[in-house]
Structure 1
Amino acid sequence: MKKLFNFIFLLICLTALNLSAEEAVKEHEMINMQEIKYQGEGFLRGEFLEDSEDYILGKGDVVKILVRGKAEYSGTYEVGPDGKIQFPFLDDISAEGMVKKQLQGKIIEMLESIVKSPEVSVSILKYRSKYVYILGEVNKPGKYYMTGDTIALRDAIIQAGLPTMHAALKRVHVIKPDLSIPLKKKVNMKDILYKGKLKENINLVSGDLVVVPSLIHSDINRFLNKLMEPITRVAIIDDMVDRHN
């Protein structure tokens, strides 16, 4: 009887895996995967990242400051843990909470007493203060930095290399952390990515977590629930018969 159970269990798992793969392949054949994959790789390489004028600087961000004709003031600076930039020969600048234009104006104001008509440019080299987590069945799970205060769910999934063929696209979870009651929302990613239905294409903010569950695990559980119940009944009957023989 034990050998029978082992054989049936192995058969169930193999069947579930096979059906899961077939369903996932059909799902992905609905669109031109090569085209979307190329776009996703572009996001990861940073080719489509724009130096946003409205981006609010925070701890860890890295900026490049150029002062025309004054190399001693020009350079690359990181917003420190205290929210400040250590600017040479001048006081530290509280950059956290500023946009580029505000930081530029502050530097010009500080230089006016020692530089005649200073010309200053500010650009953002590294975005490090805002990020989201993309986990589960995506090709490149991990921590992703944002170039703005929000990022659309679809764009975040593309940055993570798109879902794998085993992703349960209809059960993607977006979790917004909260010290009291975290907000958890289930999203149909299949509609967003492959059907162009953007109603659920919500905006993510820094700290949000996106979890793409596995289609395989759910199928195995479903098969086990359906098939193990009658098998268990047969095993119980056989055991009772054996005891009375």
Structure 2
Amino acid sequence: MARTSARNAASTLAIIALAACGGKTPANIEAVSRGESYQAQYRDLERPAADSPTLRSALMNASRCKPYSGSAGAGKLRTYLPDALRGELLSRGDLIDLRVPNDETFTGEFVVSRDGMLKIPFLDPIPAQGRRTEQVAAEIRRKLVAGGFYVDEPALSLLVMDFAPVRIGVSGAVFDPQASDIGGVQGDQVDSRRQAALGASTEGRNLSVALRSAGGVRPDADLSAVRITRAGTNHIVDLRGAVDGRHFDDIMLVTGDEVYVPSRQCFQDELMTPSPVSPPGVSLYMSNLTQPANNNAAAAVSQGVREVPYGTRYLQAVIDANCVGGARATSADRSAALFSRNPVTGVSVVIERRVEELRTRADRDDYDPYVLPGDAIACYDSGVTNLGEIGRLIGVFTLGALVD
């Protein structure tokens, strides 16, 4: 009787396990299988053409693009930069050194106040926010004459001793839109010799830093018309040179600036490359467990997020997760699922690929999607490994039934 029960239990378990082996094709709301989701590379694998394979994914992605909104169009870069955005610009909190020869009254160090004004004894407040030092210096000379302190405009020196952090907002086609502080220097990174020297310089308040602080621009970004709103006035900057090695205006921002990156509503393969405005890398969630873990320690949860370079593709990430290779007879034919989200629509997407099938295709690039920040990859063992696991479970259940 015990042997019969054991056989029945083993048979039932085998049927259930074999049924589970086949898995199911992931269901998606968007038309992922036809290449109509965020990346055409997500689409289902088609039978390779008899002649040389044709790579169509980049063209499929580009066909959905809205025209560039910048007035320069698709070809020529916008070279004009408004005067209000040029040069090193002052912002509230900046430390200023003012020197008027042989005049201790007006010589001293001053901080641009919270309202953006430079306040010097005996003079009316001088607007400094968003202005260059030479503009502020010229107004100081005029006010010294207008106030009756000098007959002719005196020689003076106005230097920035330290640039303060600025708070800006970034929205639109970036991975993590937010308001953030940029340009600050941590205490343990302060260069004392530079602090003691006259004058200061910084790259920490540049537009590229702001975009990276918001996760970097997305592949659907329209870099021809990045909008900078300063004191209620909109300015348009062309940043396409940042991703193809050409010159671009990496302007200096001030507190209160708002940056908006429009979208072309399409995936642009050419933007999937490291650049000053791209994400510094991709934090990728990975799982390559052969057995589901029953606790966090066994799953090594603290190591679950890996950093890969921006522009990494699915196959590269799967290799990084140790999901490729091994004995061909038992473990080589694995599959892996990519979990992502369309940043334009906010709709999630899951695709699953057989790793060896994709590896052996000449047109693999057409179906090898780029991984994006926040994506996750889960690896599944081959059918032979699954059958081995089923055999082990049948043995355990059979032995348990015999014991009972």
TM-score, scaled to structure 1? 0.47
More helix by proportion, 1 or 2? 1
Larger Rg: 2
